[in-house]
């Protein structure tokens, strides 16, 4: 790539106009950096731009899942429900873009196709699918963690003649399922949120389930004025507690070990947590749910009993009960009437563990036992999580080394922020950071603030290049995997483990050390002059 072909130069190029990209732009531009954000979508919002399926909501409470960087913004914005809907979150994202006039520095409908490090010039050359060739000092991948949708590998999928939709690419104008015979493949969070609403329209709804998931009730409702005031009048202290917490959400009690109390007390605590209708709180019911299999069994049994009490047909109930993974080792779902939907006459569950899909035909879906015909197939089959969107870009670091080669056995990073051999390249909420195991807003703000401080420090010190050392990276990867292995998480075939994508290396992707301790570690690295990095 010659300098001549570069059509513009920047201090910092950011990929993605989700909450990370927008906040990066706001902070960095305010400090005088020349920043350009590129975004594949035609608008801001990232995951909330794409995932428009019926019932799409955040599973973190709205008062928590919002920016904290500007007290005026957090006071003026009015969330209406306990869990915000996708349209409301998207409206918020647009409000932020408008309020801070982010539009002029964001380029939409543009995907980055390659990023090549030029070691002589100490700069990245970024190419887009619209023909831009941008030279930049720093390159930040704020591409999101669940942003590469995944279709199932089912023979005949391309032959189906009816309408097909993916939950993660739902049409902006919505879909009317009235009078339709609808199939849903998948029973993850997206399916569990959308199935009750699709069932309200469809003439017939057939759910193809390979693996059941644990789901806790959302108990969604309008926020009361009093509870909003209670949080907003104390937002600084509330946000601070979120930053110091494990998951980025303040918990109002100190969990105890499961077996420090008798069975009756265990059940009482679990009932209270169930009624509190909040999965983060539910998972925190006892301190050892995710590290002690026996403690986990108690909670898993508790939820299985709930499923049996909610679903009338006990054969269906049993099929909906997860046994293959400890509760919480796949992200628990949060639902409104999911289990009760299976009591409706026109809703049917097909248990693919008993009768697997053999093929998709022009008219429907065949299993080993039956041939189904549908007007519509909905794929709620998830994502190539955490690394999919990073590896879609042809990224080449020092000596032309490809990121896809360096990561062929799984991602290796320093702090989930930087990668050895890839100078001046950064991931926001990347693999081996708390990321998807936390309230993403808290983790996004932490990474953006940390990177902003880094860029300012480098500028002030006349430094131009920073790179994670191999040693620091090796130690971080070892630490991250050691922490992961102390928990029950690796027991599940989850997207946390890359297990949902055939051929993807089986590595625990997020960092399990907790948001608060992780923040401290990152701050220590910075205050020690960016320990573990070579910087010049
Ligand atoms: P998930 O949670 O990855 O769910 C995908 C679902 O699709 C899951 O039930 C899969 O079953 C199922 N799936 C995938 N491939 C197939 C095939 N070939 N046949 C049958 N079923 C299949 O994605 P979501 O979009 O629901 O949620 C992602 C995250 O968004 C969620 O965790 C929240 O953090 C928000 P499997 O378990 O692989 O057997």
CA of 498 to the centre of ligand 1 (A): 12
Both 56 and 14 in a single domain? yes
**Pair (50, 199) in one structural domain:** no
* 514 & 427 share domain: yes
pLDDT of residue 217: 96
Q: Is 377 exposed, middle or buried (0-12, 13-18, 19+ CB in 10 A)?
A: buried
Residue 500 domain-assigned? yes
pLDDT one-digit tens code per residue, 254-296: 999 999 999 999 999 999 999 999 988 899 999 999 999 999 9
Ligand 1 pocket test: pick from 210, 440, 495 the residue with the most ligand atoms within 8 Å of its Cβ. 210
In the predicted structure, residue 1 carries a pLDDT above the cut 70:
no
Give dist(CA 196, CA 448) in Å, integer.
37
- Distance separating alpha carbons of residues 58 and 401, to the nearest angstrom: 38
Cβ of 492 closer than 6 Å to ligand 1, yes or no, is: no
Please report whether residue 307 resides in a domain: no
Last residue of a domain, one of 382, 406, 425: 382
Which of 323, 350, 382 lies at the terminal end of a domain, its last residue? Answer: 382
Question: Among residues 204, 193, 146, 510, which one has the least CA distance to residue 335?
Answer: 193
| pLDDT at 407 > cutoff 90 | yes
Are both 389 and 525 inside the same structural domain?
yes
Going through 325-375 in order, the beta strands assigned E by DSSP cover 333-335, 347-351, 357-360, 364-367, 371-373
Instruction: Indicate the number of domains in the chain.
Output: 2
Can you list the alpha helix ranges (DSSP code H) found in 31-129?
47-50, 71-76, 86-99
Model pTM above 0.85: yes
Average pLDDT over the chain, rounded to an integer: 97
Q: State yes or no: pLDDT of 110 exceeds 90.
A: yes
Instruction: Flag whether 36 is in a domain.
Output: yes
Q: Does residue 93 sit within a domain?
A: yes
Alpha carbon of 492 to ligand 1 centroid (Å):
13
- Percent of the chain clearing pLDDT 70 (strictly above): 99
Residues 516 and 503 both lie in one domain: yes
Question: Tens digits of per-residue pLDDT, 123-139?
Answer: 999 999 999 999 999 99
Q: Say if 282 falls within a structural domain.
A: no
Which residues form the domain of 418?
3-148+385-535
Residue 397 lies inside a defined structural domain of this protein: yes
Are 124 and 136 contained in the same domain?
yes
Same domain, 408 and 361: no
Q: Are residues 377 and 432 in the same domain?
A: no
CATH of residue 190's domain is: 3.50.50.60
Structure tokens at 501: 């994508």
Same domain flag for 52 and 173: no
In this structure, are 69 and 104 located in the same domain? Answer: yes
Residue with tokens 């002030």, as numbered in its chain: 460
Q: Residue 325: inside a domain, yes or no?
A: no
The residue that leads in pLDDT, 252 or 90, is 90
Domain stops at, among 382, 415, 441: 382
| Same-domain pairing of 498 and 403 | yes
Residue 341 placed within a domain: yes
Give nearest CA residue, ligand 1 atom 30: 189
Residues 10 and 95 grouped into a single domain: yes
380 CB under 6 A from ligand 1? yes
Q: What pLDDT score does 3 carry?
A: 47
pLDDT for the residue 251: 87
Burial letters for 76-93: b for 16+ Cβ neighbours within 10 Å, e otherwise?
Answer: ebebeebbbbbebbbebb
Residue 330 Cα: closest atom of ligand 1: 32
């Amino acid at each position: 790539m010659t300098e001549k072909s570069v059509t513009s130069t920047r201090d910092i190029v950011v990929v993605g106009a989700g909450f990370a990209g927008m906040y990066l732009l706001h902070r960095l531009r305010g400090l005088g950096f020349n920043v350009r954000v590129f975004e594949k979508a035609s608008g801001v919002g990232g995951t909330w731009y794409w995932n428009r399926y019926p019932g799409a909501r955040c599973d973190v409470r709205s008062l928590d899942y919002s920016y904290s960087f500007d007290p005026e913004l957090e006071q003026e914005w009015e969330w209406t429900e306990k869990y915000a809907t996708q349209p409301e979150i998207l409206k918020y994202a647009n409000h932020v873009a408008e309020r801070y006039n982010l539009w002029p520095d964001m380029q939409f409908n543009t995907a980055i196709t390659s990023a090549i490090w030029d070691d002589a010039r100490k700069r990245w050359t970024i190419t887009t699918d619209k023909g831009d060739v941008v030279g930049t000092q720093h390159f930040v991948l704020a591409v999101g963690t669940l942003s590469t949708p995944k279709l199932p590998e089912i023979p005949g999928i391309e032959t189906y003649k009816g309408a097909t939709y993916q939950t993660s690419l739902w049409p902006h104008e919505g879909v009317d399922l009235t009078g339709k015979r609808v199939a849903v493949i998948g029973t993850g969070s997206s399916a569990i949120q959308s199935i009750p609403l699709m069932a309200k329209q469809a003439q017939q709804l057939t759910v193809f389930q390979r693996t059941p998931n644990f789901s806790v009730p959302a108990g969604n409702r309008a926020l009361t004025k009093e509870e909003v005031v209670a949080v907003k009048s104390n937002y600084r202290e509330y946000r601070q507690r979120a930053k110091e917490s494990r998951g980025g959400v303040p918990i109002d009690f100190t969990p105890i070990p499961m077996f420090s109390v008798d069975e009756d007390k265990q059940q009482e605590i679990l009932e209270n947590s169930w009624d509190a209708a909040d999965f983060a709180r539910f998972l925190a019911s006892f301190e050892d749910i995710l590290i002690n299999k026996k403690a986990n069994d108690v909670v898993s049994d508790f939820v299985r009993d709930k499923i049996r009490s909610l679903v009338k047909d006990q054969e269906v109930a049993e099929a909906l009960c997860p046994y293959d993974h400890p509760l919480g080792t796949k992200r628990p779902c949060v639902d409104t009437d999911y289990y009760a939907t299976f009591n409706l006459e026109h809703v049917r569950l097909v248990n693919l563990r008993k009768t697997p899909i053999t093929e998709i035909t022009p008219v429907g879906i065949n299993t080993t036992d039956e041939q189904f015909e549908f007007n519509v197939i909905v794929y709620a089959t998830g994502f190539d999580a955490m690394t999919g969107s990073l590896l879609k870009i042809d990224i080449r670091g020092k000596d032309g080394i490809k990121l896809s080669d360096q990561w062929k056995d799984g991602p290796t990073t320093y702090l989930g922020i930087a990668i050895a051999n890839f100078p001046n390249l950064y991931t926001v909420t990347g693999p081996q950071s708390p990321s998807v195991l936390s309230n993403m807003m808290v983790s996004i703000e932490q990474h953006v603030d940390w990177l902003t401080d880094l860029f300012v420090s480098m500028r002030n010190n006349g430094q131009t290049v920073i790179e994670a050392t191999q040693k620091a990276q090796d130690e971080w990867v070892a630490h991250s995997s050691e922490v992961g292995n102390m928990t029950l998480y690796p027991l599940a075939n989850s997207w946390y483990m890359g297990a949902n994508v055939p051929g993807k290396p089986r590595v625990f992707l997020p960092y399990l050390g907790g948001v608060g301790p992780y923040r401290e570690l990152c701050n220590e690295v910075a205050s020690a002059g960016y320990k573990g990095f070579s910087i010049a």
